[in-house]
Amino acid sequence: KLIVSDLDVKGKKVLVRVDFNVPIKDGVIGDDNRIVAALPTIKYIIENGGKAILLSHLGRVKSDDDKKELSLKPVAERLSELLKKPVTFVPANEGKEVEDAVAKMQDGDVAVLENTRFQDIDNDFGKRESKNDPKLGEYWASLGDMYVNDAFGTAHRSHASNVGIAEAMKKDGKPVAAGFLMEKEIKFLGDAVANPVHPFVTILGGAKVSDKIDVITNLIPKSDHILIGGGMAYTFLAAQGHEIGKSLFEPDKVDLAKKLLQDADGKIVLPVDNVAATEFSNDAARKVVEDDIPENMMGLDIGPKTVAKFKDVLKDAKTVVWNGPMGAFEMSNFAEGTLEVGKALADLTDATTIIGGGDSTAAAKQLGIAPKITHISTGGGASLQYLEGKELPGIACISDK
């Protein structure tokens, strides 16, 4: 696979698919992580005399009413601030306005086209972008000389603006390559996990077992230890015969949990104590319980003994992947377990530490430990599917095969 630095971008129109799907409320960007993460690729292109034409989706566009809130204009403005240079925002992604704007670009210029998912409602085809209308990919490919995919967060989707455009470019004999962010995500979530330096510890949390089954299955053979916390831990504890009170529970996953425990052959480490509360509220009466959780209570965080146990496993780790919070960490009284796991990762100075998923990333930010983590993924669904060992269409389309 080529990467952007393999391309001769000088004087070239470079179509770049980025994932600028950032949280925006009333035109204000909540978290610009994904924009910042795309900067190395954009800077490389413009500093080497290329013209960067950026494509991205934003949110899910279902009707005309969504268009105001889901315009990429504020993103283009934020990008301009970050690059400290003008960025042209084109309020369309197809037609004369786009072609004129591209024709006007000088070497080193940056343009952001409007939300690719506006194509999901603006036509007779149906969802042209999300259903990958080949004509749309061909059209976008026709705007440039080469294509760079830096949208790892979108790599689990097979849409016109990532897969369609790459295929059309290849058909035209034009080069396609990965951006630097895409390359970094592949290096850590892909390669480091496929061939980890041992001991390799996987930490999984979040509400549901069903969301993580394929990740567990894929990582059991590769991991030395799998630490499980969060809501999903209670189905595992129930499978072991513990009373879990009113905790989150997926009865139809008990047999599967039993099987996973068996397959893992002692590698799965479950909570030995929990912070339990009478209801799902930060103000609820709470206490640390060992063994069984009383009938009228629910487990909302891992307890101090579990934290100590997890830390003990982590201290020798050479590779760690963490996905999902250890409890209801959005409530301060149940955040400790998640925050302590984050701190333990930050303390591992000679291990490769990888965080994926929105909640664990938010916890890392809240703790201010992001600079001490080797890699924090920009992918949500994409990082999960990658950890499941699946081939992602947005990566396959820029591979040589």
218 is in an annotated binding site: no
**Cross-sheet strand order for the sheet of 273-277:** 286-290, 273-277, 298-302
In the complex, the smallest distance separating the C-beta of residue 19 from ligand 3PG, rounded to whole angstroms, is 5
- Closest CB 74 distance from ligand 3PG, rounded Å: 16
Quick one: residue 245, left, alpha or beta (phi over 0 = left, psi -120 to 50 = alpha)?
Answer: left
188 is in an annotated binding site: no
Q: Answer yes or no: 17 catalytic.
A: no
Cα 70 to Cα 16, 22, 382: the distances in Å are 19, 10, 21
Q: Which is nearer to ligand 3PG, 153 or 196 (CB)?
A: 153
Report the residue closest to ligand 3PG, judged by CB.
21
Which of 164, 231, 356, 358 does the annotation list as catalytic?
A: 358
Catalytic residue among 127, 208, 311, 365: 208
Task: Check if 128 is active-site.
Answer: no
User: With respect to ligand 3PG, which residue has the nearer C-beta, 19 or 273?
Assistant: 19
Q: Would you say 34 is a known binding-site residue?
A: yes
Say if residue 156 carries a ligand binding annotation: no
* Cα–Cα distance, 175 to 148 (Å, whole number): 8
The DSSP symbol for 160 reads I
Assess contact for 154 and 21: CB atoms under 8 A. yes
| Cis peptide preceding 221, ω within 30 of 0 | no
User: Closest approach of Cβ 152 to ligand 3PG, in Å?
Assistant: 9
Residue 359, judged by CB atoms within 10 A of its CB (0-12, 13-18, 19+), counts as: buried
Taking the C-alpha atoms of residue 57 and residue 66, their distance in angstroms, rounded to an integer, is 13
Which tokens go with 83? 């690059």
Nearest partner of 251 among 275, 265, 234, judged by Cα: 234
Which of 49, 381, 389, 390 is catalytic? The answer is 381
Name the minimum Å distance from CB 260 to ligand 3PG.
26
Where do contacts with ligand 3PG occur on this chain (CB under 6 A)?
19, 21, 60, 153-154, 157, 380-381
Q: What token pair was written down for 123?
A: 């036509």
Nearer to ligand 3PG, 19 or 109 (CB): 19
Among 12, 17, 34, 253, the one annotated catalytic: 34
Q: Consult the annotation and say whether 303 binds a ligand.
A: no
The CA distance from 63 to 57, in Å, is 15
| Catalytic (active site) residue 394 | no
Q: State the Cα–Cα distance between residues 116 and 2, nearest whole angstrom.
A: 25
Is 305 annotated as belonging to a binding site? Answer: no
CB closer to ligand 3PG out of 127 and 258: 127
327 is catalytic: no
Instruction: For residue 206, give the amino acid letter.
Output: G
Q: Which is nearer to ligand 3PG, 44 or 152 (CB)?
A: 152
Active site residues: 34, 208, 358, 381
Residue list for the binding site for substrate: 19-21, 34, 57-60, 117, 157
Residue list for the binding site for ATP: 212, 299, 330, 357-360
Residue list for the binding site for (2R)-3-phosphoglycerate: 34, 117, 157
